[in-house]
Chain A
Amino acid sequence: MEFPDTGIAVTLSTAQGAVRRVSIRSGRLVRAAALFAGRTPAQVLTLLPTVFSLCGTAQALTGLTAMETAAGLTATPATRQARRILVLAETIAEHGLTLCRDWPPLLGEAPDLDAARRWKQDFGAIRPLLYPDGDALSPGGGRLAPDRAALLRTAAAGRDLLDHVLGAPADSVLADAAAFAGWLKRAPGACARLLAEAGWPCPLGTPTPMPPAGPADLDLRLRTDRNGDYLARPDSAGIVCETGAFARRAGHPLVAALNGFAAQARLTARLVDMAAALRELAGLVQDLTGQPAGPVSLTDGTGLATTEAARGLLAHRVSLEGGRVSDYRILAPTEWNFHPDGPLARTLAGLTADAGLERRAVLLVNAFDPCVPCRVTVE
């Protein structure tokens, strides 16, 4: 039996020179986590990073935290700090891969695979620098023995690599709108050329960023979601929020200055997010202390955990009974941003239908950063 297409299809229907209808259909398997039922927590924690490998670290840590919450456990500050570092490293690697592997082909250019490999390898190698025994996913936290010098070298190498990829120091490029405009004009590389192309006026109205820990009724909505409707098409009091780098960095002066340029603002927010994540990672490493592994066992209960993953809010809700999973639900960021009435759909609606429509739609789709392939059709 062939595994189904789990991608997203965006169809724009045009009439009288404008997009009149936007259809977003998703083949994503939003209820698949229900099949974790009957498995042990250890089995689920082995499956999570493989099944959801794109943000495997965030998935595994969110699942682990939900299980700890179910058992009434709270990780120590040092463990929470180390887990945050792991998620930041994954965010940096994911954004870096996008910049180097995915953005040049959008311009018809070859991907920068040397740089892509470095993002992936350098930031993928952070876990053993924190947890040398390979027990990062132990309940309560494994033996934390940070190699601070090596971690700081990785952060510094990441800053240098970002400067290299941008063709100019990131801090100066992202400092303000004037410096950014100057960089676009010089266009020293594929990133700048793509961002320059994405700079067409595209007003969105007032964005509705996701609250930091998710909607206030997240637990209730997940618990009462009998047939997966909420997992497939979530909302917060009727509003479909935007989540991800743009929502996180909407207050950054440069991102705010690009309001009215929907694609450019979101692609730029990815760069701002990377630079901020590199700074935060280095800051967290400075005062991170080691600690022995806590012999902690999980007990029955129900827990909810959320993580700001690379693409936005990730939520896991788990119930444990008799030492096994009895219920498991995952709500991923793409379900918000690619909701049929969500931020992407609102942005695409009303676009001018001319010869450049499909190209602009493709750039907007990439700006909203789907975690699965997304096809665009204009009819």
Chain B
Amino acid sequence: MCMAVPSRILSIDGMVATVEAFGRQRQTSLMLLDEEVAVGDYVIQGAGGNFAAERVPEETALATIDYLSGVLADGLA
């Protein structure tokens, strides 16, 4: 499934952020975001993962990560 994993922003350099999800870090462009983001915010990636698509409220991000952790633990991943 085309699952989006919420990633937490660790640092921002210009329009590029270093984000982390499930222990993996990657860089993503903030050029297509509709709103300002800051370190500690959660974003989800668009298709291909090169651009952050939207900011996700922390509560929703954590609920999604909890669900995805369950998917991993249950062996469905």
Chosen A-B contacts, 28 in total, with CB atoms closer than 8 Å, are: A2-B22, A2-B23, A3-B5, A3-B22, A3-B68, A3-B72, A4-B72, A4-B77, A6-B2, A32-B1, A32-B71, A32-B77, A34-B76, A35-B70, A47-B63, A50-B56, A52-B1, A53-B4, A55-B2, A101-B51, A113-B32, A116-B32, A120-B32, A120-B53, A124-B34, A330-B1, A334-B2, A373-B48
Given A50-B6, A120-B32, A120-B34, CB of A35 within 8 Å of CB of B76: yes
CB pair B76 A31 closer than 8 Å: yes
B64 contacts chain A at the CB level, 8 A cutoff: yes
For B54, what are the chain A residues with a Cβ–Cβ distance below 8 Å? Answer: 53
- Closest residue of chain B to A54 (Cβ to Cβ) is B2
The answer to whether B1 and A28 touch across the interface, beta carbons within 8 angstroms, is yes
Count of chain A residues with Cβ under 8 Å from any Cβ of B? 38
If A4-B77, A50-B4, A101-B46 are given as contacts, then 14 extra A-B residue pairs at C-beta distance below 8 Å, sorted by A number, are A1-B22, A29-B1, A29-B3, A29-B77, A32-B71, A35-B71, A47-B63, A47-B67, A51-B3, A55-B2, A98-B47, A113-B31, A120-B34, A332-B1
> Closest CB of chain A to B20's CB: distance in Å?
11
Q: Is A117 an interface residue (CB 8 A)?
A: yes
**A30/B1 in contact, CB under 8 A:** yes
Interface string of B37-77 (1 = CB under 8 A from A): 00000001011110101101000110110011111101011
Q: Which of A2, A32, A101, A117 contacts B3 (CB 8 A)?
A: A32
B 3-45 to A, binary, CB cutoff 8 A, 1 in contact else 0: 1111000000000000001111000000110100000000010
Closest-by-CB residue of A relative to B59 is A46
CB neighbours of A1 from chain B (8 A): 22-23, 69, 72
Judging by beta carbons under 8 Å apart, are B76 and A50 in contact?
Answer: no
Interface pair A102/B47, CB less than 8 Å apart: yes
Q: Give the docked Cα–Cα distance between A113 and B46 (Å).
A: 13
User: Which secondary structure characterizes the binding site on chain A?
Assistant: helix
Interface status of A168 (Cβ within 8 A of chain B): no
CB distance from A352 to the nearest CB of B (A): 28
Q: For residue B48, which residues in chain A have a CB less than 8 angstroms away from its CB?
A: 102, 373
Indicate whether A291 reaches chain B with its CB closer than 8 angstroms: no
Taking each of A1, A31, A51, which has the highest tally of chain B beta carbons within 10 Å of its own beta carbon? Answer: A51
Task: Say whether A255 faces chain B, with CB atoms less than 8 Å apart.
Answer: no
Question: A330 to B1, alpha carbons, bound, how many Å?
Answer: 9
A55 to B53, CA, bound (A): 12
Complex CA distance for A29 and B70, rounded to whole angstroms: 12
- Let me know if A282 is at the binding interface, CB within 8 A: no
Complex: how many Å from CA A32 to CA B46?
Answer: 20
B46 touches A43 (CB 8 A): no
Contacts of B24 in A (CB 8 A): 2-3
Q: Does A97 contact B (CB under 8 A)?
A: yes
Q: A1-B23, A3-B22, A4-B77 are in contact. Are A332 and B34 (CB under 8 A)?
A: no
Say how far B23's CB is from chain A's closest CB, in angstroms. 6
**Contact between chains at A28 and B32 (CB < 8 Å):** no
